[in-house]
Structure 1
């Protein structure tokens, strides 16, 4: 079995911090091409990795050189590029949020089914050890009935680490379509669905722009969510947390409380109703502050799925379900009503 020949489309921060270095380190992958509409950037990155630069994704996809691509572009291009790649018979790992509408997401899934190629969405929170452990404890009934939860993902905003700073696409509605909710919130809807093992059915949300006067997308959102079995909780997504990044989740159950990524030392703390406390040291979650250079397992899972014909941990359907919660939150904010997912 030869190495998987990979191209990376979009050479911004997520590509430079995660996709490119992780493919370069992967023994079964061979990076062969990169693409960016900014020619300088494409050339610079191509030189660094010793691969071929492209400025047109169509050209890269039609070159016959790649078997798989990572789509690391602004959000509005995720669907068109992914669909074009799948139609060319190329496997796709797409950044989140996978698309800007349900229709786009469905079209991506359909293209994957037609081509028989893999479509994976890069929701890396599912690979975090504490999150996997929590899912297992809940599944095993160790926590009993789940009553409630709260989850947050917030930091000072992408301008500090995005390649273009304040001028970046993150803050432009026509390119990003959605702000902190799409950047961070969708990670958490995916995480909740994964850890709780249930779908989210109703959403009430406030989605505001309060911290970034230069942005025309949301930077601060708070949602109330309800799952199919009636678990209720909150999700906060923000680009206005100025001190330290918050990426924590607390799940309140009948027999115990699970505290994830809240304690600086213990990534999972289980507080049982009888007073017993169990601390798990499972390795820290990735944060952008650290450049996220530790393996996020996304690339590993993707390469493995392609080479060994396995189902990705986050399929197009899974990505779409997590996106649907975000779309419902936007609708709730617009209509000022609780919205069904």
Structure 2
């Protein structure tokens, strides 16, 4: 089988740590193009992996016939580039949040459908071993119904992660449009929907800038969610966990509690009402400091090789984003938002 020709658009940290190395080790992939407005960044990867460097995606799509693209740009460009790539006949893997508005998300889904290409969103939390294990345990039914939950994602902020540090687009409202919520919150809204096999019905939220100076981008959010099943819980996203970063989820169920990523040694712990405790070592959740393979690239390429629509589809990305957009609306209006 001929290799899948891939272009990576945006050569910042997520490309550096995840997309590019994971494509490079996938035997079904040929990296043919790298795009970045700072052309030296694109050239660096072209020299490492072969392929050509471009300073903008329009020129690249004209010059190259690519099978697939990774869109790893600032949030405000996700929709525009994904739609252009789909119109050029390329499958699209877009980083989260897939877009910044509902209209953009719908246009992206439409463009992929119209052109007969796949659209996948990089929600890697679903693929992390502790979350896969947790889902498996929930599906056995031994815990019964999930009644309440809390899920949180916090770290010290993108200045330690982004290739541009404190000068990063993450802190510029016109390029990011959303801060901790678009970066971290949307991961957890996707995760909770998937774990519970349920959609969010109502959202109430406090979203604001508590500590990052010189930016009006949100660095903290605390949200209350009610699911369609009636389960209620909290979702927290923070860029100010300067000590003790957190990516944990706890589910309180009819027959016991499940704790995910709360313990340094056992990633999933189930405590049943009858006193039984089950502890699972299944491998760590990836962090910015400790990169493990995200699984996203292999999942995407496997969809293309097997002509199998992605599980983490545009629709799934959109449903996760709707929760975040509702949280901003709740903050702005002081009301509970119905989805």
Q: Do both share a fold (TM > 0.5)?
A: yes
Residues 35 and 54, structure 1, Cα contact 8 Å, conserved in 2:
yes
Residues 135 and 197, structure 1, Cα contact 8 Å, conserved in 2:
no
Mean alpha-carbon deviation: is it higher for 241-250 or for 182-191? 241-250
Corresponding residue number in structure 2 for 1:200:
200
Corresponding residue number in structure 2 for 1:249:
249
- The 5-angstrom pairing of residues 118-129 of structure 1 reads 118-129=118-129
Q: C-alpha deviations, 1:67-99, integer Å up to 9, x for none?
A: 100000000000000000000100000000000
Corresponding residue number in structure 1 for 2:336:
338
What SS class does the counterpart of residue 298 from structure 2 fall into? Answer: helix
Corresponding residue number in structure 1 for 2:302:
304
Corresponding residue number in structure 1 for 2:232:
232
Q: C-alpha deviations, 1:203-223, integer Å up to 9, x for none?
A: 000001011012221001000
CA distance in 2 between partners of 1:312 and 1:306 (Å): 9
What SS class does the counterpart of residue 144 from structure 1 fall into? Answer: coil
The answer on 1:321 being equivalent to 2:319 is yes
TM (normalized to structure 2)? 0.98
Mean alpha-carbon deviation: is it higher for 134-143 or for 201-210? 134-143
Aligned residues: 339
Corresponding residue number in structure 1 for 2:151:
151
CA distance in 2 between partners of 1:50 and 1:84 (Å): 24
CA distance in 1 between partners of 2:233 and 2:289 (Å): 28
What SS class does the counterpart of residue 190 from structure 1 fall into? Answer: helix
Residues 133 and 282, structure 2, Cα contact 8 Å, conserved in 1:
no
CA distance in 2 between partners of 1:128 and 1:49 (Å): 27
CA distance in 2 between partners of 1:61 and 1:118 (Å): 17
Contiguous gaps of at least 5 residues in structure 2: none
What SS class does the counterpart of residue 282 from structure 1 fall into? Answer: coil
CA distance in 2 between partners of 1:168 and 1:185 (Å): 19
Deviation of 1:158 after TM superposition, in Å, equals 0.5
CA distance in 2 between partners of 1:104 and 1:310 (Å): 24
TM (normalized to structure 1)? 0.98
Corresponding residue number in structure 1 for 2:61:
61
RMSD over equivalenced CA pairs, Å: 0.9
Deviation of 1:200 after TM superposition, in Å, equals 0.5
CA distance in 1 between partners of 2:163 and 2:183 (Å): 15
CA distance in 2 between partners of 1:302 and 1:57 (Å): 20
Q: C-alpha deviations, 1:31-65, integer Å up to 9, x for none?
A: 11100011222222222222210001011112233
Mean alpha-carbon deviation: is it higher for 39-48 or for 16-25? 39-48
Residues 8 and 72, structure 1, Cα contact 8 Å, conserved in 2:
yes
Contiguous gaps of at least 5 residues in structure 1: none
CA distance in 2 between partners of 1:65 and 1:44 (Å): 21
What SS class does the counterpart of residue 230 from structure 2 fall into? Answer: coil
- The 5-angstrom pairing of residues 26-45 of structure 1 reads 26-45=26-45
What SS class does the counterpart of residue 288 from structure 1 fall into? Answer: coil
CA distance in 2 between partners of 1:257 and 1:286 (Å): 23
Residues 125 and 187, structure 2, Cα contact 8 Å, conserved in 1:
yes
CA distance in 2 between partners of 1:308 and 1:63 (Å): 27
Residues 129 and 282, structure 2, Cα contact 8 Å, conserved in 1:
yes
Corresponding residue number in structure 2 for 1:47:
47
Residues 35 and 54, structure 2, Cα contact 8 Å, conserved in 1:
yes
What SS class does the counterpart of residue 48 from structure 1 fall into? Answer: helix
Corresponding residue number in structure 1 for 2:278:
278
